[in-house]
Amino acid sequence: MPTVEVADLKDGDFLLDVREDEEWQAGHAAGALHIPMSEFVARYGELTGAAPQDGRVNVICRSGARSAQVTNHLVQQGIDAVNVAGGMQMWEAAGRPVVTDEGVPGFVA
């Protein structure tokens, strides 16, 4: 499965967060698109409408397990997608900002 390290992501890279609502509300990467894995099939059109046409979709969850499943699905659909290794836990550990919807510092739940 295609994977990317948090350190290799640049500001402005497209990020799809597939964690559930409670996890997202605790804290997330600013600018990420949030579509919970449990709603992914029903909301797939939101991703195709928001994702860059010629760019990569970086998929993230808490630890990398759920995002790996979504990444595999996207790759099967012909989308350039990669799993973010270590998920939001690694994102936070790398010192990347974690914010709430209000823009204040959050945490990874």
Radius of gyration in angstroms for the set of CA atoms belonging to the chain, rounded to a whole number? 13
pTM above 0.85, yes or no: yes
Cα distance between residue 109 and residue 105, in whole Å? 13
* Catalytic entry in 15, 61, 84, 90: 61
Would you call 64 a catalytic residue per the annotation?
Answer: no
Cα distance between residue 68 and residue 73, in whole Å? 9
Domain spans, the chain: 3-96
Question: What is the structure's pLDDT at 76?
Answer: 96
SS3 57: strand
pLDDT tens for the chain, 109 residues: list them: 899 999 999 999 999 999 999 999 999 999 999 999 999 999 999 999 999 988 999 999 999 999 999 999 999 999 999 999 999 999 999 999 999 999 999 999 9
CATH class of the structural domain 3-96: alpha beta
Question: What is the structure's pLDDT at 82?
Answer: 98
